[in-house]
Structure 1
Amino acid sequence: MKSKKYVSKTFALILLGLILVLAACGSKDKANSDVVKVGVGSAEIPTWNLVKELAEEKGINIEIVKFDDYVQPNIALDAGEIDINAFQTVVYFDSFKEDRKLDLAAIGTTSIWPMGAYSKEIDDISELKDGDQVIIPKDPTNLGRALLLLQKAEVITLKEGFDGTGGVENIVDNPKNLEITPVDAGQAARGLDDAPVAVINSDMAIKAGLNPTNGSIFREDSSNKAYVNIIAAQTKRKDDETLKEIVEIYHTDKVKEFIEEEFKGAAVPVREPISYLEDYKQN
């Protein structure tokens, strides 16, 4: 009888142990599901550190996931590895998700980061010499954006009606015979070691130790809606209340003031609803 009671007691203890382990695992899974993973580029991290602090006050736990390129954050978002990302312009986002057939949606605006031309050799873009090389980003939207910047600087002329879609074949006049060389956006800053001018995205310039506000020799303004950065999520989660609340936190005065102080014009806060960008192609 003692033997049977002993076995029964042992079985009960094992069963209780399993229940406790499963309960612990369940609690752990629940805790993990409550963490919102945000994919950002390195330049965005200071702002998202503040958003993370403000979100904690509202019971929202944010984990910041850093990316060093413009491709992986959307791939990771589509795969569900992160919950939202915040690193890209709306025009780049729309082009990327269409090309890759990704079911993603823009859910909020963040800021605009004016693109600029940089140089270690000249102080004004008009000082470019015949045959000089100019490095620009090669991804379709940033390439077109860079070409528009060079046209605004009056060093090239583009086809009439060029809207930023397409490549160097849209150049109709290049009086200085500039050698315009597209490279990966993340490598554009390194081009300054070989070329007199490189056109660089603001966040990549910051990452390379450049000053977008005072260090560029020519810079676009911040009025073009197509280049407003956005927060993106999977389409099925675009109405998620927690994600909406994070957008609202990003649009608070504290975050706006932080961006203005931290980046001093390298990033300009945009606190409009996402519907503000619906007509960006007409802007």
Structure 2
Amino acid sequence: MKNRNAKRILAAGAAAVLAVGLTACGGKENKADDKTITVAASPTPHAEILEAAKDLLKEKGYTLEIKEFDDYPQQNVVVDEGEFDANYFQHQPYLDNFNEEKGSDLVSAAKIHYEPLGIYPGASKDLENIKDGAKIAVPNDATNEARALLLLEENGIITLKEDAGLNATKKDVEENPHNIEIVELDAAQIARVVEELDFVVLNGNYALDAGFNVQTDAIAKEEADSEAAQTYANIIAVKKENKDSEKIKALVEVLQSEEIGKFITDTYEGAVVPMK
């Protein structure tokens, strides 16, 4: 009987030691130091660029795991909650808006690429002779709507209030000589209604998903050397305390490398532009 009790005590002790060991190995406190990098990303072009980075990261001793998301906000949620090390889908103004709304403290680890926003033809083709009452779809999230409206203003379609800037909404339209109707839609839905509206303003990734190239299909676009290129550069977003971890430094170094820059340039032909 004593031997049985002794064995039980030893077994319990061993289990406890094993549990402590597993906790130490798998606990969140060591996640920033492990050799697996988990990234949430939009399918195009972000996940594609990350796929191209896998072998380069492997050479540095890291395994890159990518999960694709169609939902913008959820990609920030999973990083904020510690489920993923980073995400790759957004620009800084979008992240700032998310942090303000959700009370989170995500930060940019680096700028990787820029996707020029474009105006694409739908039922109408001539932007210079736009018809009265034309319908134009724009993204309905705060930062991208302002960006779309600024692009419409640059092309003489509307005039915004002087101080609207990056906070512009359609309520800030001061002059609308053609009485156009601005249709606010979720960015992911706009490409699906191209034929139903006169024109649409598309984010670069959704344009690519729909088979459009901003260089050849857009009738107006943001220029690569514009202020927008810096303001709306797509970033790697992380929790603030993980920004300087070795794994994030390795991820950034690879994504900003000449090899990935060449992949972006060759693959997307100007629809996606690597940041210098």
Residue of structure 1 equivalent to 2:138: 136
Match of 2:26 among 11, 14, 29: 29
Residue of structure 2 equivalent to 1:268: 273
Aligned pairs, number: 268
> How many angstroms apart in 1 are the aligned matches of 2:15 and 2:126?
71
1:175-195 per-residue CA deviation (whole Å, 9 max, x = no partner) reads: 111000111111111221321
Residue of structure 1 equivalent to 2:236: 231
Alpha carbons of structure 1 residues 193 and 21: separation in structure 2 relative to 1, 3 Å: farther
Moved more, 141-150 or 244-253: 244-253
Residue of structure 2 equivalent to 1:103: 105
Tell me how far 1:70 sits from its aligned partner.
1.8
Q: Secondary structure at the match of 2:165?
A: coil
Structure 1 stretches of 5 or more lacking a match?
272-283
> How many angstroms apart in 1 are the aligned matches of 2:95 and 2:180?
30
TM-score after normalising by structure 2: 0.87
Q: Secondary structure at the match of 1:110?
A: strand
Residue of structure 2 equivalent to 1:176: 178
Does the 8 Å contact 1:228/1:270 carry over to 2? yes
Residue of structure 2 equivalent to 1:47: 49
Is 1:252 aligned to 2:257, yes or no? yes
> How many angstroms apart in 1 are the aligned matches of 2:165 and 2:261?
30
Matches within 5 A, 1:15-26: 18=15
Q: Secondary structure at the match of 2:157?
A: coil
Matches within 5 A, 1:18-167: 18=15, 29=26, 33-43=34-44, 44-167=46-169
Tell me how far 1:14 sits from its aligned partner.
5.9
C-alpha RMSD of matched pairs (Å) = 2.5
Moved more, 185-194 or 11-20: 11-20
Structure 2 stretches of 5 or more lacking a match?
none
Q: Secondary structure at the match of 2:83?
A: coil
> How many angstroms apart in 1 are the aligned matches of 2:73 and 2:43?
14
> How many angstroms apart in 2 are the aligned matches of 1:4 and 1:88?
65
1:213-270 per-residue CA deviation (whole Å, 9 max, x = no partner) reads: 2111211112222111111110111111221121111111000000000111011111
> How many angstroms apart in 2 are the aligned matches of 1:213 and 1:16?
66
> How many angstroms apart in 2 are the aligned matches of 1:100 and 1:40?
20
Does the 8 Å contact 1:124/1:218 carry over to 2? no
> How many angstroms apart in 2 are the aligned matches of 1:152 and 1:215?
18
1:132-181 per-residue CA deviation (whole Å, 9 max, x = no partner) reads: 11100011100000000101111111112431213111111111110001
Does the 8 Å contact 1:113/1:202 carry over to 2? yes
Tell me how far 1:208 sits from its aligned partner.
2.0
Does the 8 Å contact 1:147/1:164 carry over to 2? no
Moved more, 158-167 or 50-59: 158-167
